[in-house]
A and B are shown apart, each in its own frame.
Chain A
């Protein structure tokens, strides 16, 4: 079949092609010494001027982490990680607020430019005084482990929304942080969440008060920038009764040759009738054509629908990272609450992805939907791993799961590992999964209408992912389609 062989060639070509977003900014860094011990935890806490309770929380987490073993169950392979051979704190050295962009570190600006951040947003990110309020997107840029600046805080503050780096929230809103931090992902939940709890440096904090619809989409650009710095983001989003918020997270990373560990924790809390939409586009460096380098992305993301009729929706487009280990989950504790998971995972080259979701139905009339699309190419391995659990009280609970895998080339693997546990007779769980390659009929149909083979494959893959892509906010939908194209360049689209 010519289609298959051409596709293979294209994929091979791609594997040799360069990572488009691979660049590194040379900004002065405040680095902690390599290694991890109680002193480093104390140092991180001290650098962030944290109150005593936070330090104790971190130390408790650190002690728990020391007792834990790295999980082995995921279908991923990597050399052992030396947790002592990394910097756990890196902070760009801050200057007093510049008056205009001319005074901003040009390296920083170049990075923003490559990221495609509009000029006026660049101004705000760089902390230029009096920068305008023109765009409908608030950006909290995490430049390495510290939020360099937060934009649109005023507009948000008028609506009563708090959107700030979590390090600030710890100092300014300790009562909220104390109440919710670690309430969804307990410190000892797993090896990486314990590690994150001990050493997280920054991340975003969002609080939407009762009855408020957040006036704009909230977004954070994550960048992993300094050499050998593990990135430990911590995000906490709270939506009070009837509140609505949409949060966007997008990532690109500089090219480098050493594996980098990224272990973020994201916690979402949705109260009665609240709605949280969390969208991710992830395109971290996947490693070179020999599988060398690339980011290890070991993330714990979980949301709880605490109130009745609350809704949490995860949407993700995962195209980057050497290894992805990620299961955004929903605990449906409020009556009639809704959990959703929409995912596109693309692996190419030597990438490995073990990703999926957990839907834990605790209350009556809870509903969940899982749509997972997996595309494997090159010599990559991709696994969907998911759990749907109906607890005895989940009367009339409903779940629908659909997992589809597309294989491109015969050197890759696609796997589906769903766990279905039902303890309530009136609950209904449905799961379906398919694995296939691009159908010759579809290709032929497109080709006969004048599309080139690449265009045809692109169309088919976009159609394959359509159900997920349409869930993305407008701002991300375009970027996500571009990413899909880059990830499978030459072979699909």
Chain B
């Protein structure tokens, strides 16, 4: 690996104190590192990131009311990396775990930069335990960051026991030029089902390196959907490992990129068990000078016979200055598998435009409608109606 040990890097190391050992010696990865080939971390090197100060809970509450959050069985709020007890409520059925349990931390994310950074600087976040057979309903998690030159590194953990169910709406937003680096560890025991919808609405000046790692046991299901539409430089890494037969994972996403922003969805789907399925649809819309990145890997172990993996990645370029870089990757060591991926990059289909215009729809409206249709098809993949409606409303130009 090659990296840069900038002053900003040194400052982060100092803040980590004893835990600085968890950071690699190389510093911030440069574009020479394959995983960061398309996403430059240079902006991270330009600021000495300080710990974010506490925010006034009343003001945070006011911000929440603007979000049109759906009513769920529970709400958990973090502001600048701190738990807001006054704004949060958890249903009785679930337990908030206590402290960190690092001994049991899966090594799923160990060699990933975002996770190393989180491990060194982590702040305790949600630590949720859904007991066997319990359907915990919908839980809303809000992480708000405000300020300039500050950073937060929340670490969340969700454990679903046998047959447990949970829907999680994970809303992330903020104001200012901050850096946020949240991590979520997910454990889905046998037959458990987690629906995880992330609405990434960070400030347009923010840097974000979000990462999640999920271990899914037999017949378990981790259904994730990410809306990436904020941040000057924002990567969401979704890592999952299918560890028991007939488990399933969905890693769907939408990226909406305008201005000169860069959004990146990087995913790893590891089939470590036979008879599992994975589905991935990622759609990116680029306008102005937006830069989009998609890196998706499907890894199939030798034991993972009868794997069924499908990955589709499509990008719509709406401006001359937009740029899309995709790297869909298959690494397969089992012979009795069905794996495929597809990728397309292009402009709006002229035939479709023509069809609509010939029926009297003005050009601008026709274009909007086609872009909306492109996105809605993906949002439709969210099965939970409440979450689907919420996400549709979070999209710009939704009528």
Contact = CB atoms under 8 A, between A and B. Distances in A.
Interface stretch (B45-53, B68-76, B243-251, B344-352): B344-352
B318 A425 contact: yes
Nearest to B302: A410
A432 B346 CA distance: 15
B317 A435 contact: no
Interface in A72-95: 73
A40 B342 CA distance: 49
B333 interface: yes
Interface residues of B, number: 34
A430 B342 CA distance: 7
A416 B335 contact: no
User: Which 6 A-B pairs rank lowest in CB-CB distance, beginning with the nearest?
Assistant: A425-B317, A428-B346, A407-B335, A422-B345, A431-B343, A416-B330
Given A433-B330, A437-B336, A392 B320 contact: yes
B105 interface: no
22 contacts: A73-B34, A392-B320, A407-B332, A409-B335, A410-B302, A410-B305, A410-B333, A413-B333, A414-B332, A416-B329, A418-B329, A418-B343, A420-B326, A421-B326, A425-B347, A429-B344, A430-B342, A432-B340, A432-B342, A434-B339, A435-B330, A436-B337
A408 interface: yes
A72 to B, nearest CB: 10
Contacts of B344: 428-431
Nearest to A436: B338
A52 B328 CA distance: 48
B334 interface: yes
B347 A426 contact: yes
A13 B141 CA distance: 59
Interface in B341-380: 341-347
Contacts of B341: 416, 431-433
A111 interface: no
Contact of A429 (B323, B329, B331, B343): B343
A425 B320 CA distance: 6
Contact of B332 (A425, A431, A435): A435
A392 B319 CA distance: 11
Chain A: interface secondary structure?
Answer: strand
Interface in B280-302: 302
B325 interface: yes
Given A405-B332, A421-B324, A431-B326, 14 more contacts: A4-B335, A405-B330, A414-B330, A418-B327, A420-B325, A420-B326, A421-B326, A425-B320, A425-B347, A427-B346, A428-B345, A429-B345, A431-B328, A435-B338
Nearest to A392: B320
Interface in A364-410: 390, 392, 405, 407-410
B322 interface: yes
Interface string B307-325: 0000000010111101111
A475 B78 CA distance: 71
Contacts of A120: none
Contacts of A417: 327, 329-330
Contacts of B330: 405, 414-417, 433, 435
A422 B335 contact: no
A148 to B, nearest CB: 44
B340 A437 contact: no
B335 to A, nearest CB: 4
Given A422-B315, A434-B339, A435-B340, A415 B345 contact: no
A132 B182 CA distance: 77
A410 B320 CA distance: 46
Contacts of B333: 410, 412-413
A433 B340 contact: yes
Nearest to B346: A428
A392 B323 CA distance: 9
Contacts of B322: 423, 425
A424 interface: yes
Contacts of B317: 422, 424-425
Residue of A405, A416, A426 with most chain B CB atoms under a 10 A cut-off: A416
Nearest to B328: A418
Given A422-B317, A431-B342, A436-B337, A413 B331 contact: yes
